[in-house]
Amino acid sequence: MGEDRGMTVTVLRLGHRPQRDKRLSTHLLLAARAFGATNAFYAGTKDIRMEEGISRIVEEWGGDFKVKYAESWRNVVKNWEGEIVHLTMYGLPVQEVASKIRENNEPKLVVVGGSKVPRDMYDLADWNVSVTTQPHSEVSALAIFLHMLFDGEELSRSFKGARLRINPSGHGKDVDVFSKD
């Protein structure tokens, strides 16, 4: 499927607050999985219920996407062996840099902020990348970035070991349900 075969992406979500961010972080992590990331870290406050929610989805829909809590996001970043991409509305336009970032197969760490991103993140990143220069959402920014990084191939990915699989349909719902054992 082209040049990005073998390139793995890990997402790092900064500053999670269980009360306020539970649904947004869940959507973000599900978008990470759906658009081809292989796993994710989140920093901020540990949130077992969110982790369990993601695990249940993976159980039903397949693949082996994993989420881990990171006590120190700086350690994840500083120990990363590969390239670091920080999504920020202040960065370089995704449409100008996505294909360059795709040029090598080094594992990518894609860092997605919460509301306040510490200043040093901008320096720790190999790439600061913006998805439009407008305010929107870390969920849409991540999805568009991964879509452009994987050049659309992620849209037709299949997930191994799924219990549920949708058959695309023009009008209605068509779902296969498989037994898991």
Task: By CB under 8 A, name the binding residues for a copy of itself.
Answer: 20, 23-24, 27-28, 30-31, 33-35, 57, 61, 89-95, 122-123, 125, 127-128, 130-137, 139-140, 142-144, 147, 152, 154-157, 159, 165-166, 168-175
Question: Rounded distance, CA 97 to CA 92, Å?
Answer: 7
> CB-wise, 49 or 171, nearer to a copy of itself?
171
- Dihedral sign computed on CA atoms, order 118, 123, 124, 129: positive
**What is the amino acid identity at position 34?**
A
DSSP string over 84-112: EEEEEEEEEEHHHHHHHHTTS---EEEEE
By C-beta, is 12 or 28 nearer to a copy of itself? 28
Minimum Å gap between C-beta 34 and a copy of itself is 4
Residue 69 class from Cβ within 10 Å (0-12 exposed, 13-18 middle, 19+ buried)? middle
Q: Minimum Å distance from CB 122 to a copy of itself?
A: 5
Question: Please, which residue, 71 or 166, has the CB nearer to a copy of itself?
Answer: 166
Q: How far is the CB of 71 from a copy of itself (least distance, A)?
A: 25
Taking the least distance from each CB to a copy of itself, the nearer of 55 and 137 is 137
Which tokens belong to 159? 């997930």
